[in-house]
A and B are shown apart, each in its own frame.
Chain A
Amino acid sequence: MLLTGSLLAVAVALIPLVYLGVRAAEAGGERIRAELLTGATAELAATSLALAALVTAGCLLLGVGAAFLVTRTDLPLRRTFGVVAALPLAMPTYVAAFGWVSVVDGFHGFWPAALVLTFCSFPYVYLPVAAALRSVDPAVEEVSQSLGRGGRRTFTGVTLRQIRPAVVAGGLLVTLYVLSDFGAVALLRVNTFTRSVFTSFDLGFDRVGALVQATALVVVTLVILGAELAVRRHDTRYAKVGGGTRRPARIVRLGPWRAPALLAIVAVAAGSFAVPGAALVRWTAEGVSRPGSPAEIAGAAANSMGVSALGAALTMLLALPIGLLTARAPGPLSAVLDRLTYLTHALPGLVVGLSLVFFGINVAYPLYQTRWLLALAYATLFLPLAVGAVASAAALSPPSLEEAARSLGRGPWAVLRTVTLPLTLPGIGAGAALVFLTCMKELPATLLLRPTGMDTLATELWTHTSVAAYAAASPYAALLVILSAGPVLVLARRALTPGGTP
């Protein structure tokens, strides 16, 4: 059952790879060699990987740092900052980048792009790490200190070790996200693989060249996933032996570091929010273009939320079997199935969108240009976000609970309804919230796959910015961020509650 479901989900996730395979075969070996075996490819690969590495490092630093500050220190207004630190998830990179560009002169290139991407994606690390820090047993840290290790060495030697799975998982999402991002790199003019794929479509309307480049991106992703799997295999789970209630973790007194820590958090929040926010205000003030009627804006918002909800639901449905399999039957098979869902996560939305056009035309024509196919594209793109949430939620309902329930005479469905679902639903809900807000921000696949005539906030934003009607665009941008902030609040609250996992 679980395995069949998992295989189905992986099949959906691999649609873009099948498509790329078909197109690469059409292109032929010679074309592929001509396209890929060039200095430009090496340069693109180097830039993409360097950017991904830098942003990942930055996100690990900011994410772990923020998580530590809000869970383990006497920082003032910890809960508020705990939520604030998650909010950048609601900010699409293209809005953030656009904001920075219009506020700071000459803001473009590698380092600025790294900065914007770090600001926008560090919550991918922050949320799981904050949850992990909340649930780490302080007893182990105390043992370490009793063995003569100071606070700092205990943190690096014991605490970090225990939250490492959360750190690695968040880091992986960031790395793959950066590889797939188009919004920020395009606006800030960094030549990554993804930008090059988009450009190739423009250059002579050559789809084959673009797709061949995308296959190179798949290879890069494979290497990253392999490396991550190798790292993760050395992680052992921390097993707690014996009873006893868990005490809350000790709070580190920041002392003289309080002001700098506060300043750092405020600076990150400003970088993620204040700058793009200021740009939106400026656009509105400067421009005379106006958005559509309130009804049109509301319609676009409803469409955004509708397709995002559908996408999130479908994604969770597909993620459920893989997540449960990973939690219940950990092993090489489930690890490989799980990782396969990550393969498309690094692909540009445009390529995934085209692959779903291919799938819709050739396999599922009745679904073509309906919300369902768009939802399927979202599932293909964002499955890894959901699988992680399901797996950690499933861990909250250990098999012994279900067995106890069955031994009391309840059938499988009754057990699912009365035990498993009530316990895992909050985690699944958090996963859905994450997928939902990611769908809200998605643009390229949405443009290709939306039902004809359906506008979402993201497409309206694109429509207006493409004719420099920034004032008309800004309400859509603001609404997009505000509506995405709702799910972020849910995620943050959950991460900051003991025992919760995002």
Chain B
Amino acid sequence: MNALVVRAAHKAFGPVKALDGAELTVPAGSLTAVLGPSGCGKTTLLRCVAGFEHLDAGEITLGDRAVSGSGRHVPAHRRGVAVVPQDGALFPHLDVAGNVGYGLDAAQRRSGRVDQVLELVGLAGYGRRMPHQLSGGQQQRVAVARALAPRPRLVLLDEPFSALDAGLRAGLRADVRAALHADGATAVLVTHDQGEALSMADQVVVMHQGRVRRQGTPLEVYRTPGDPWVARFVGDAVLLPGTAGGDRVPTPLGELALDRACHDTITVLVRPEQIRVTPPDAAPDAVAATVRGQLFHGHDVVLDLRLDDGTPVTARVLDRGQQLVPGQRVGLTVDGPVHAMPGPEPVAG
């Protein structure tokens, strides 16, 4: 059962096509992250689903009910789609309980639902506080609780963590994810943060220029992005041209195993963590490279390398105390099969 289906959604603001045939399917009970750079149309998609914007063309179905499309537009308040805006948008004149109970009728409010969702988000006992007495993170928790309270068909979260400190963000992500799951809610999270999307979601949808480029589990999207743009957007990528012959392909990094058999000109995706760095000539099939620089991240190190034919390569290695200095010669090997994407890599993307 799908909680939300979006088909061929089009929406333009003047000459700007915000949605250009976007497609989306969200299974009930799942958390789907819509990931994309600013201006990709993800917020517009969310606002169309919420009913704040009218679609130009296409169709939106919530459960078994068509809410947008073919001249129909169910208004926002009749959709059962609760929104958690970027800024939380707590009602400043209502206390926490008033905010959380806003979408409930009197009977529901008395039923203890307010306390229940407050407990879910870890704010039990905060009902009498006013929004301005809360920290930014607490405000977002209240916003999530408020959205969950009426048990909507769908909860839409619009970059809800982007305004918070990095330290606060990780904990809140986990808590919100737990709260959503505990309540059995179906949720769509809009974000431009790859880490957030990959770590929180059951399903990731990558949007670019008003279209969905890739939909799948976080692992699928990361491992098999399907095209070079998505590959680069969801993580660091080494993209190499090659002409495949069956399940192997010759590349500047040597002959690599492919994740599927093919016979075309392809672009090969090697994730930096697949590249193993060894002393030169330590392994027989190693490709020689020169270190140009490194970025130290604590738990790992990202190396900027250059093959002898001039191809730039990035490798990520765990920090084991080895000292690599610019100019040092190393040998590179690739672990596991690499992802084959059709066509030569576009010049710009």
Contact = CB atoms under 8 A, between A and B. Distances in A.
Are chains A and B touching directly in their complex (CB below 8 angstroms)? Answer: yes
Interface of A: 242-244, 398, 400-401, 403-412, 414-415, 418-419, 422-423
Contacts of B149: 408
A409 B150 contact: yes
Nearest to A411: B77
Interface stretch (B85-93, B112-120, B279-287): B85-93
B147 interface: yes
22 contacts: A242-B163, A243-B136, A243-B164, A244-B136, A400-B86, A401-B91, A403-B52, A403-B89, A404-B83, A404-B84, A406-B51, A406-B52, A406-B75, A406-B77, A407-B76, A407-B77, A408-B149, A409-B77, A409-B103, A409-B152, A411-B75, A411-B77
Given A408-B147, A422-B93, A423-B93, A403 B103 contact: no
B332 to A, nearest CB: 41
A414 B77 CA distance: 10
A180 B83 CA distance: 50
Interface string B17-59: 0000000000000000000000000000000001110000000
Contacts of A414: 77
A407 B156 contact: yes
The 9 closest A-B pairs by CB, nearest first: A408-B103, A407-B83, A406-B76, A243-B136, A400-B89, A404-B89, A406-B77, A400-B85, A422-B93
B91 A419 contact: yes
B163 A400 contact: no
Contact of A243 (B75, B82, B163): B163
B102 interface: yes
A398 B89 CA distance: 8
A414 B75 CA distance: 14
B98 to A, nearest CB: 10
Interface in B69-85: 75-85
A410 B102 contact: yes
Contacts of A401: 89, 91
Contacts of A407: 50-51, 76-77, 79, 81-83, 147, 152, 156
B76 A403 contact: yes
Nearest to A404: B89
A408 B89 CA distance: 12
Given A403-B52, A404-B84, A407-B152, 19 more contacts: A243-B136, A243-B165, A400-B85, A400-B89, A403-B50, A404-B83, A404-B89, A405-B91, A406-B51, A406-B75, A406-B76, A407-B77, A407-B81, A409-B77, A409-B103, A410-B103, A411-B75, A412-B77, A423-B92
Contacts of A243: 136, 163-165
Chain A at the B interface: mostly helix, strand, loop or mixed? helix
B316 interface: no
B91 to A, nearest CB: 6
A409 B82 CA distance: 8
A408 B164 contact: no
Nearest to A407: B83
Contacts of B10: none
Nearest to A408: B103
B11 interface: no
Contacts of A423: 91-93
A414 B84 CA distance: 19
Chain B at the A interface: mostly helix, strand, loop or mixed? loop
Nearest to A415: B77
A412 B136 CA distance: 28
A404 B85 contact: yes
B146 interface: yes
A483 B86 CA distance: 46
Most buried by A among B79, B86, B93: B93
A498 B147 CA distance: 30
Contacts of A400: 85-87, 89
A400 B165 CA distance: 22
A150 to B, nearest CB: 33
Contact of A403 (B78, B85, B152): B85
Most buried by B among A406, A414, A423: A406
Nearest to B136: A243
A414 B91 CA distance: 14
Contacts of A410: 77, 102-103
B52 A409 contact: no
Most buried by B among A412, A414, A419: A419
A321 to B, nearest CB: 21
Contacts of B86: 400
Contacts of A411: 75, 77
Contacts of A242: 163
A435 B247 CA distance: 81
A404 B82 CA distance: 7
A98 B184 CA distance: 75
Contacts of B83: 403-404, 407
Contact of B82 (A244, A398, A408, A419): A408
Nearest to A403: B52
Contact of B102 (A398, A403, A405): A405
Nearest to B146: A408
Most buried by A among B76, B147, B164: B76
A110 B31 CA distance: 73
B129 to A, nearest CB: 15
Contacts of A403: 50, 52, 76, 83, 85, 89
Contacts of A422: 93
Contacts of B84: 404
Nearest to A422: B93
Nearest to B86: A400
A415 B156 CA distance: 19
Contacts of B93: 422-423
B74 to A, nearest CB: 12
Contacts of B85: 400, 403-404
Contacts of B92: 423
A219 to B, nearest CB: 35
A499 to B, nearest CB: 10
A410 B146 CA distance: 13
B52 A408 contact: no
Contacts of B156: 407
Nearest to B132: A245
Nearest to A401: B89
A210 to B, nearest CB: 48
Nearest to B105: A409
Contacts of B146: 404, 408
Contacts of A415: 77
Contacts of A419: 91
Nearest to A406: B76
A406 B75 CA distance: 9
Interface string B146-163: 110110100010000001
A63 to B, nearest CB: 29
A407 B81 CA distance: 6
B48 to A, nearest CB: 13
A45 B143 CA distance: 58
